[in-house]
Amino acid sequence: MPDGKHWFELSVARKVMDDEADDHFVVLSRDITQRVQTLDTLRKLRHAVEQAPNSIFIAGADGNIEYVNPAFTATTGYSPEEAIGRNPRLLSAGATPASVYADLWAHLTSGRPWRGEFVNRRKGGGEYNESAIISPLHDEQGRITHYLAVQEDVTERRRDEERIRKLINFDALTGLPNRIMFASRFSQALALTQRSGHQLALLYLDLDHFKNVNDSLGHQVGDGLLIEIAHRLQSVVREEDTVSRQGGDEFVIVLPLTDAQQAAHVAYELQAQVRRICKLEHHELVVTSSIGIAMYPEDGGDFETLAQRADAAMFRAKESGRDTYRFFWADMQARSLRVLHIENALRSALVQGQLTLHYQPQIRLKDRQLVGVEALLRWTHPELGAVSPAEFIPVAESSGQILGIGEWVLRTALAQARQWRDAGHTELVVAVNLSMVQFRHPGLVDMVGRTLADSGVPSQMLELELTESIAMDAPEQVIAIVRQLYDLGVQLSIDDFGTGYSSFSYIQRLKVHKLKIDQSFVRHLGDDPSAPHIVRAIIGLAQSLGLETIAEGVETAAQRDVLWGLGCDTGQGYHFSRPVPAADLEELLTQGHAVLG
């Protein structure tokens, strides 16, 4: 024994001697230390097996169960009486591949232990995953007499692993493959395409004005919309295609073995699905999408190149009015690089003092007095030169930089207005444009109120311009925001009026002060007899609502005179003055009128 003790078995027998009166005893002593040790070991082994957390069973050479431990019963639901004498197949759920059993018996019949995993079924019917080590047991002659199975329920572990796998490879919101999984799927699709000698299409899809949904209805509705759109996109494509969410409201689709005509058809179907009415939390939403398409091998031989070009094509689709698709073509690459350069350069433009404001006079037509100015943003970059607002404003909007730039424009314009007011020009109105992104931002009203208060400028000196397209987007929300701005005391005008579909009743509900007649209607005044009719209608609408009218894009004296004759209140355009720096406006302010030309 480990402690040095020995165990002996004693046998005592009485021996009767005929010639002696005394009894004699025979004592036999046998060392049984080895047997005691063996029994002690067996007892420990039995306790270990009985108390083991793992499920254990022993089967005979015929495969039928001869012993099960309590953990087996706890895991499977079968008592020893129900399990002993039966084949372990009673546990099978029918979901383990046949190849697993073939591998199992190949090991056991060759005398080797096997390690693997089954999908089993409990007595109650529930399926579970079980890892197992099954070993053959041999007698002294090396013959297999029994099989020992030690098993562990790994169902929760597999569920955790699956959850981790999904977190790593799939988008948590939509369940679509994420960037990591998509990279693998794309590689497979590309390899398939290369072997076949066919084409492959990569599509970039971006929802149009999705930010408006989040800003106006909240992220919960926005998330619900993304989930619904993901389901719709998947319903269009084939099993071998992959739809992935790249982040935000951007999706990418790879279509192996697809030519340009088929890609165009898929893009059309994708947009039709996106465009369907979506009902979420009592809201009926209609969104559209812009899609860019790049083709392998024509547009690139790897994912990075194709992705850049599909993204450039998608950007061109947005420039073309949205709700459409565009294929990549060579000039887009230069355009895409230009946009990227502008976006990066714009980030430091404010800090480096590259942005300035010019002011274009607004002239009251009846007496040619300067009554207002429109603040217009200008950008001069040391490498790019003078960048047109028509080029950099959309980039600022799409990159989110317009919020910071817009606040700077308002602060700068109000600071200049304060100088003019202090110089005695108390009736001058300074107009500042609002973009769609600014207007939809929930902090707009607070920002305007705070900036006004900081400037010390009376609110009536500030005019905010919003385009007719902004005014017509989500009308009820627009009305609410406009009324909050109206309550601040600022003046409000609708820019580019006549280019949209505003109704009389809707304009009546908007608390605005002016309608700005779009320059496209002003351009042909004086040389086209039919041109005045639309302008007359707009002026008549404004007068019936008690609103002022201002015509933009006035370039000739003839246009000015026609506008005055039609009853237009104010004019703005190159005929009066180009946009000029504030310092150059001092002479006009002092004179009280513009150079008429």
CATH number of the domain within which 69 lies: 3.30.450.20
Q: Which residues pair with 30 in a beta bridge?
A: 9
* CA neighbor of 350 nearest in space, from 283, 391, 294, 405: 405
Task: Look up residue 157 and give its DSSP letter.
Answer: H
Low-confidence ranges of the chain (pLDDT < 70): 1-4, 15-23, 33, 36, 333, 469, 471-475, 498-506, 526, 528, 530, 591-597
Q: What is the pLDDT of residue 596?
A: 46
The parent domain of residue 6 ranges over: 1-45
Same domain, yes or no: 264 and 237: yes
Is 248 a member of any domain? yes
The predicted pLDDT at position 502 comes to 54
Residue 163, domain member (yes or no): no
Predicted structure pTM score: 0.54
In terms of Cβ atoms closer than 10 Å to its own Cβ (0-12, 13-18, 19+), residue 7 is middle
Whether residue 386 sits in one domain with residue 523: yes
Residue 518 DSSP SS3: coil
Residues 285 and 423 in one domain: no
Domain CATH code at residue 253: 3.30.70.270
What pLDDT score was predicted for residue 595? 47
Could you tell me if residue 337 is inside a domain?
no
Q: 540 and 393 share a domain?
A: yes
| 455 and 524 both lie in a single domain | yes
Residue at 492 is within a domain: yes
Before 297, cis peptide (omega within 30)?
yes
Burial class (CB in 10 A: 0-12, 13-18, 19+), 76: buried
Q: Hey, what are 376's tokens?
A: 């217009």
Based on the domain organization, do 123 and 189 belong to the same domain?
A: no
C-alpha–C-alpha distance, residues 10 and 22, integer Å: 22
**DSSP 3-state helix, strand, coil percentages of the chain (rounded to 5)?**
45, 25, 30
Contact (CB, 8 A) for 525 and 558: yes
Q: What's the total number of domains in the chain?
A: 4
Q: Give the integer Cα–Cα distance in Å for 124 and 140.
A: 41
185 part of a folded domain: yes
Q: What's the chain's length in residues?
A: 597
Of the residues 328, 362, 396, which one is the last residue of a structural domain? 328
**10 Å Cβ neighbour count for 461?**
24
Is 249 among the domain residues? Answer: yes
User: Is 183 domain-assigned?
Assistant: yes
Q: Are 512 and 545 within one domain? A: yes
3-state class (DSSP) for residue 119: strand
Q: Do 74 and 194 belong to one domain?
A: no
Sign of the dihedral through C-alpha 412, 414, 417, 418: negative
* Domain assignment of residue 489, yes or no: yes
Q: Which 8-state DSSP code applies to residue 441?
A: S
Q: Which of 105, 127, 158 is the C-terminal boundary of a domain?
A: 158
